[in-house]
Amino acid sequence: MKTIHEINRLPETECEQALQNCCGSTRWVRQMLIARPYESAEFIFVLAENIWCGLGEDDFLEAFSHHPKIGDRESLKKKFASTAHWAGNEQSGVNAATEAVIEALAKGNEAYENKFGFIFIVCATGKSAEEMLAILQARLPNEREDELLIAAAEQAKITALRLQKWITE
CB under 8 Å, gap of 24 or more: what pairs does 42-50 form?
Answer: 44/7, 44/163, 44/167, 45/160, 45/163, 45/164, 48/22, 48/23, 48/156, 48/159, 48/160, 48/163, 49/156, 49/160
Active-site residue, 67 included: yes
Is cis: bond before 37, omega within 30 of 0? yes
Amino acid at 154: E
Q: Residues 6 or more apart from 115 whose CB is under 8 A from it?
A: 140, 144
Distance CA 101, CA 129 (A): 7
5, 66, 67, 85: the catalytic one is: 67
- Return the active site residues: 67
